[in-house]
């Protein structure tokens, strides 16, 4: 598969055309604006970009994997807090 790039001369950033949304920003900008952590950022990224490239189902499975990881992390954090504050 050939991945074509669109070069934005204003900020010297390249965006793959299959990620282009016609809105003047990328999903990465949204993730940064909301200061999402790695797992949450990847959840948003894979959901927004699903179906725009190779395998839509694979992208959604990746999003689900990152969601499971974030839930596991939060449960661990909660358990640590409980243990610490007994």
Would the pLDDT of 84 be above 50? yes
Would the pLDDT of 53 be above 50? yes
Q: Residue 5: which pLDDT band, with cuts at 50, 70 and 90?
A: very low
- What is the rounded CA–CA span in Å between residue 35 and residue 39? 12
Would the pLDDT of 31 be above 70? yes
Tokens 């499971």 correspond to 68
pTM: 0.76
3-state secondary structure of 48: helix
């Amino acid at each position: 598969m050939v991945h074509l790039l669109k070069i934005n001369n204003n900020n010297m950033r390249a965006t793959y055309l299959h990620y282009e949304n016609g809105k003047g920003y990328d999903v990465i900008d949204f993730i940064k604006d909301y200061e999402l952590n790695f797992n949450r950022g990847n959840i948003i990224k894979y959901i927004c970009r699903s179906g725009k490239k190779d395998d839509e189902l694979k992208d959604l499975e990746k999003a689900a994997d990152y969601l499971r990881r974030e839930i596991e992390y939060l449960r661990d954090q909660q358990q640590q807090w409980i243990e610490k504050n007994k």
